[in-house]
Amino acid sequence: MKLVLLACLVALATAAPRPDKDAVILADQRQIGPDGSFIFNYETSNGIAEDRAGNPGVEGQINMQGTYSFTHPDGTVTVVNFVSDENGYRLI
C-alpha cells in the first residue's frame, strides 16, 4: 500500500505543470579578479535577475553586495538588496 501511494505521489509530482521550464537566459556576465573579487549578473526570461559583487574581506571572508529579484505567479515583483560582510548578512 505504501509503495502504491509513493508511486502515485511521484507520478503527480512528475506530471505537475512547470511554467518556468521554458525560461531562457537573457544575460549572463561574470568577471573574476586574481585577488578573489568578482562581479556577476544574470537575467532570465521568467523574471529572475541578480547582480552581485564581492571583494576579499579583512577577516578572510568575501564581502558581497548585490540585489536579486523575481516575479511571483500573480505578476508582482520582489526586489531584495543585501550586504554580506564581517557583520553578517543584512538587507538594505
DSSP symbols for 14-48: HHS--TTTT--EEEEEEEE-TTS-EEEEEEETTS-
Q: Work out how many domains the chain is built from and give that number.
A: 1
Rounded CA-CA distance 91/73 in Å is 24
**Res 64: pLDDT:** 97
Cα–Cα distances (Å) from 33 to 3, 36, 52, 86, 91, in that order, read 52, 5, 14, 20, 26
Q: Is residue 42 part of a domain?
A: yes
List, in order, residues 6 or more apart from 88 with CB less than 8 Å away: none
Task: Tell whether 39 is covered by a domain.
Answer: yes
Residue whose cell numbers read 505504501 = 2
The reply to whether 80 falls in a domain is: yes
Residue 66, in any domain of the structure: yes
Q: What is the mean predicted confidence (pLDDT) over 10-19? A: 57
Residue at 33 is within a domain: yes
Is 68's pLDDT higher than 90?
A: yes
* Domain region containing 37: 25-91
The whole-number pLDDT of residue 11 equals 62
